[in-house]
Amino acid sequence: MDDDPVVSNPDHYALLWENERVRVLEYRDAPGDETTPHRHPDSVMVTLTSFSRRLASGDRSRDVRLAAEQAVWIPAQSHTGRNTGDTPTHTIIVELKDAPASPASGDPLGPEQSR
């Protein structure tokens, strides 16, 4: 089983951008939709819509309600999820990769292109 959400749940997760430091995913679902087990590294999630969902891992579960336009920290975890509300979910998830051993060289200015 592949625990990469883009592979295991392609109807919900889409890869928007990636480089050696971060991976940016878009997540969408509708009320009642469920995901299969998958894993996220430490991440920042930006909610674009308000939503309610139940997250589960093993024998533990947690109900989560988030308002639109929030940024929240998500520690590394494996889980499944189900939209328990009456609105679609739309979020952006910025998954963090290992930090480089040294700062970037040169004098960067502005956004970089994906690699």
Consecutive 10-residue averages of pLDDT for the chain (115 residues): 91 97 97 97 97 95 96 95 98 89 57 56
Give the pLDDT score at 42. Answer: 94
Residue 16 has what pLDDT? Answer: 98
In angstroms, the CA 42 to CA 18 distance is 15
Determine the Cα angle at 113 with ends 108 and 115, to 5°: 110
> Where along the chain do its domains lie?
5-96
Domain range 5-96, its CATH number among 2.120.10.30, 3.40.50.300, 2.60.120.10, 2.60.120.200: 2.60.120.10
Q: Going by C-beta distance under 8 Å and a sequence separation of 6 or more, which residues neighbour residue 25?
A: 5, 6, 13, 14, 15, 16, 92, 93, 94, 95
Predicted pLDDT of residue 109: 55
- Calpha distance 66→15 (Å, rounded): 22
Q: What is the pTM of this model?
A: 0.86
